[in-house]
Amino acid sequence: MSSSLLLQTTITPSLSFSSSVSSSIKYRTVFNPTRNARRIAPIQAKIREIFMPALSSTMTEGKIVSWIKSEGDLLSKGESVVVVESDKADMDVETFYDGILAAIVVGEGETAPVGAPIGLLAESEAEIEEAKARANNSGAPANSPAAVSAPAPVPEVSTPAPVVAAAPAVADGPRKIVLTPFAKKLAKQHKVDVNSVVGSGPFGRITPGDIEAAAGIVSKSVSVAAPVASSVAAVAEPVKAAVKSSFTEIPGSTVVPFTTMQAAVSKNMVESLNVPTFRVGYPVSTDALDALYEKVKPKGVTMTALLAKAAAMALAQHPVVNSSCKDGKTFTYNSSINIAVAVAINGGLITPVLPDADKLDLYLLSQKWKELVEKARAKTLQPHEYNSGTFTLSNLGMFGVDRFDAILPPGQGAIMAVGASKPTVVADKDGFFSVKNKMLVNVTADHRVIYGADLAAFLQTFAKIIENPDSLTL
């Protein structure tokens, strides 16, 4: 067995990630009859950490939904060990190695940051007790001797302040480095090797104070910790009271914490407020589209697939609307047209992605969409099936909503909100009145890269495709 453990998060198919190995090294003397010499051969007691995986680009922490295996269970390669709830889906974690689940560090219903150990895997029964001892010590502060000392015989550090780890402990085996963004910035600024720093944060996370201590900087926050703490506490109480008093508490109300998915949606919506957006509405006649829909509906084609196909074809003619700006300094012309479609599911909102929607024919697109919706509602989407969108479509027309504005998802240039198609009295150029079915389409766009004329031209092209939809079936 190799000295590293690979775990795989699966939905079908699955994703892989790795964990580190801690080793206790003993030595024995081995006689080589061919060389008549003695040499030292290491025997390693292998205890592997199972880390909380990053299951999406926006995931910062995960929640343990359930442990499929219990402590002491024998694990075989390919078996599912635990179910993790990310901000988008529930995913199984599988092991690529045989072993024993020696200890569960993070229990069901609890959360842990990405990269933190959630369980320990032992190679044999001989290492189970040592693994359990480590799991029990993981609840202690990260800078305590029990939490940071390696199993190899090295000098223990009893100082409670963050310290630089001794060379033998670092060389003992690879470990997962988890540090805050500000700590990472400080480490780069002061040229501190993060591999030699022991974190004092939760689950061994390296904090800015750890970096400052390693760089020999006396933090002002440490020297005045007591006065600051008391002053902050004194200020915090009135502020907390003021916040509480600003909302009327309704007797009998129940406070429900966000699920992981709801927290991710909330974070993305707040983040979108930093983007300067504008909105453009456009009425589109749908008589021809409605007639086409009646023909293709028996073949499994949905209205969502028709709208996604039409939007993709229009984006192919207006690539700037399919572009994105992520750093405020440059923008990217995306090479693929990936239409993300908003889907409401129990406990949240997710946007499955139809990749290369402009290149797929209508029937394949509809089949793909049906599969994505089923996986979304079962919470089994793979990350690339919900985080690779370049343009988003939100359709509330099936609920009779005639118009609404959509919030721009972070990392995209535009989102289209489609309302219901309703009979509308219109006048032609000769002044004659007639009744036609019309729907109102509103597009919210990032004004840093997309301008009013760009969006107007795109909507005109989209309207022409909807009003003459024969090209959708080609």
Instruction: Out of 190, 318, 384, 447, pick the active-site residue.
Output: 447
Pair of tokens at residue 316:
């192919």
Residues 6+ apart with CB under 8 A from 264: 58, 59, 87, 88, 348
Whole-angstrom Cα distance, residue 185 to residue 208? 9
Which tokens go with 405? 């504005």
Of 460, 373, 362, 459, residue with least CA distance to 416: 459
User: Among candidates 308, 325, 321, which has minimal Cα distance to 453?
Assistant: 321
What φ, ψ does residue 446 adopt, rounded to 5°?
-80, 110
- In angstroms, the CA 354 to CA 308 distance is 8
Helix (H, G, I), strand (E, B) or coil at 19: strand
CB atoms within 10 A of CB 9: 24
- Structure tokens, 153: 């015989």
Q: Using CA atoms, how far apart are residues 94 and 71, in angstroms rounded to an integer?
A: 15
Query: Is residue 384 annotated as a catalytic residue, yes or no?
Result: no
CA distance 150 to 128: 16
CA distance 201 to 199: 6
CA nearest 79: which of 67, 87, 63, 65? Answer: 67
CA 190 to CA 199: how far, in whole Å?
A: 17
Instruction: Let me know the angle formed at the C-alpha of 138 by 78 and 16, rounded to the nearest 5 degrees.
Output: 25
Angstrom distance (rounded) from CA 407 to CA 277:
9
Q: Of 455, 469, 435, whose CA–CA distance to 303 is shortest?
A: 469
Enzyme catalytic residues = 447
